[in-house]
Amino acid sequence: MTRILLTGFEPFAGNKVNPTERIVEVFEGRHELVTHVLHVEFDKARTQLKTVLAQTEPDAVLALGLDANSEQVKLERVALNLADSTKPDNAGEQPVDQPLEPGGPAARFSSFNWRRIVEQLHSVEIPATSSLSAGTYVCNAVLYTLLGYTESHPHAVGGFMHVPPLERIDLDTQVRATEIALYELDRTIHAAHTSKPA
């Protein structure tokens, strides 16, 4: 049985609602899916994520976050080993020019099939694009951490999807976008399993 971890975030920095918390609620309890809402705190979010990864050992991880400035869904391809914040996180921390993992690689690349997800989203007319920067705030920290997990579990795939505020893309459409991304992650895992020599 495959297991997929889906994460979202609580509200932060003046955004009253974080659509990703709502999306995760919709998927809660689904078969083969583990869901978790992360704090918007550099330290706590990474600790929470590491704990749930160790407990569940998922085959795939899809993390979701709000990009308040975006008009479309963004499939993040890169995480930087950098915490550099222009606004405090929910614990009041505001790191400047800090490595997330001293001595860790400068960047990690997402291992999900972002290209195919963008194509599939376009095919149902959901505005979407790939992105080469998840920023240097908590979402980037979470992506960097989750890609550390997939690096040390080569069978696993992972990536990050930023969504816009609900005024730009409604919740149903964001849920649909998440469904499509999860379906593609599942496909990738199964393709890897079936291509392995017996």
**Catalytically annotated residues:** 76, 139, 162
Contact, 147 vs 108, CB < 8 A?
yes
Q: Give the nearer residue to ligand PCA in terms of CB position, either 15 or 56.
A: 15
Among 139, 156, 180, 185, binds ligand PCA (CB under 6 A): 139
Q: Give the nearer residue to ligand PCA in terms of CB position, either 114 or 137.
A: 137
Among 27, 42, 137, 149, binds ligand PCA (CB under 6 A): 137
- Shortest distance, CB of residue 134 to ligand PCA, whole angstroms? 7
Give the helix/strand (H/E) hosting 108: strand 107-109
- Shortest distance, CB of residue 33 to ligand PCA, whole angstroms? 19
Among 58, 95, 135, 164, binds ligand PCA (CB under 6 A): 135
Enumerate the β-bridge partners of residue 73.
128
Q: How far is CA 73 from CA 56, 122, 177, in A?
A: 27, 10, 8
CA angle centred on 81, ends 90 and 109, rounded to 5°: 110
Q: Give the nearer residue to ligand PCA in terms of CB position, either 137 or 188.
A: 137
Which amino acid would we find at residue 27?
F
Enumerate the β-bridge partners of residue 98.
83
List binders of ligand PCA among 11-40 (CB under 6 A): 12, 18, 20, 40
Using the structure block, give the residue that is written with the tokens 């020019």. 97
Q: Give the nearer residue to ligand PCA in terms of CB position, either 9 or 27.
A: 9
Distance (Å, whole) CA 132 – CA 39: 24
Phi, psi of 65 (to 5 degrees): -150, 160
Distance (Å, whole) CA 69 – CA 56: 33
Binding flags for ligand PCA, 55-84, as an x/- string (CB under 6 A): ----------xxx-----------------
Residue number of the CB atom closest to ligand PCA: 139
Q: Which residues bind ligand PCA (CB under 6 A)?
A: 9, 12, 18, 20, 40, 65-67, 135, 137-139
